[in-house]
Amino acid sequence: MNFFIDTANVEEIRQGLALGMVDGVTTNPSLIAKEKKPFDEVVSNILELVSGPVSLEVISLDTESMVSEGKKLASLSDNVVVKIPLTLDGLRATKELAHAGIAVNQTLVFSPLQALLAAKAGAAYVSPFVGRLDDISHHGLALVEQILAIYANYMFETKVIVASIRHPLHVLDSAMLGAHIATIPFKVIEQLAKHPLTDKGIDMFLADWKNVPASKKK
């Protein structure tokens, strides 16, 4: 299972890389805006650090502009993946970009049929947003299960990036379902490592260690 980090913050990416938990990065316009720096500056800092896939999202809404914006983004580096929202214009843009050999991450996917269309259009990745579905009382992970079943039925090569992850159980359920990738906020990556019995165990070992007699050797 690949872990992408869902952030445009370079410090979080650096820390995630040091842990060995960053196989790629996903950004979106909201995450870029949080950095309060120009887009090109944020992106060049990320691309300097990361060799895995880095998703950068277009902000155009019509096919022609999405394609030209996507081509510009793709020209920044070989590992750029162009993130395109799943609209009819977005599907047309995905088809064109895929035809030109550019990897597309079809984003803002909320139904299995949208994911089927993304795969047929040639998207390299599809991003179902599980947290936002949970927010409106739909089971986000049920969507992931449906997409994985449909892709397996027809042997689509499109990889599923579970997105809008809010807590560790989203990662656990994604892994149990065999999702290819989870894109995870840094805070959740840290949560995955934590367990109170690990901390308690360390305290007990260190307390017992104090009872080990000192060596008699001089």
Q: Which residues bind ligand G3P (CB under 6 A)?
A: 6, 26, 28, 127, 129, 131-132, 163-164, 183
Whole-number minimum distance, CB 30 to ligand G3P, in Å?
6
Contact between 185 and 4 (Cβ < 8 Å) = no
Name the residue nearer to ligand G3P (CB basis): 112 or 185.
185
Distance separating alpha carbons of residues 101 and 86, to the nearest angstrom: 19
Name the residue nearer to ligand G3P (CB basis): 120 or 132.
132
C-beta nearest to ligand G3P: residue = 164
Name the residue nearer to ligand G3P (CB basis): 137 or 211.
137
Catalytic status, residue 95: no
Side-chain half-sphere exposure of 168, counting CA atoms within 13 A = 7
Name the residue nearer to ligand G3P (CB basis): 6 or 173.
6
Report residue 210 CA to chain centroid gap: 44
Contact between 129 and 109 (Cβ < 8 Å) = yes
Helix, strand, coil percentages for the chain (3-state, nearest 5): 50, 15, 30
Of 160, 96, 174, residue with least CA distance to 126: 160
Report residue 94 CA to chain centroid gap: 19
Q: Which of 72, 83, 187, 210 is catalytic?
A: 83
Distance separating alpha carbons of residues 7 and 189, to the nearest angstrom: 12
Instruction: Name the DSSP class of 175.
Output: H
Whole-number minimum distance, CB 151 to ligand G3P, in Å?
19
Whole-number minimum distance, CB 100 to ligand G3P, in Å?
24
Whole-number minimum distance, CB 78 to ligand G3P, in Å?
21
Whole-number minimum distance, CB 93 to ligand G3P, in Å?
18
Amino acid at 17: L
Name the residue nearer to ligand G3P (CB basis): 114 or 183.
183
Distance separating alpha carbons of residues 217 and 12, to the nearest angstrom: 47
- Name the residues annotated as catalytic: 83
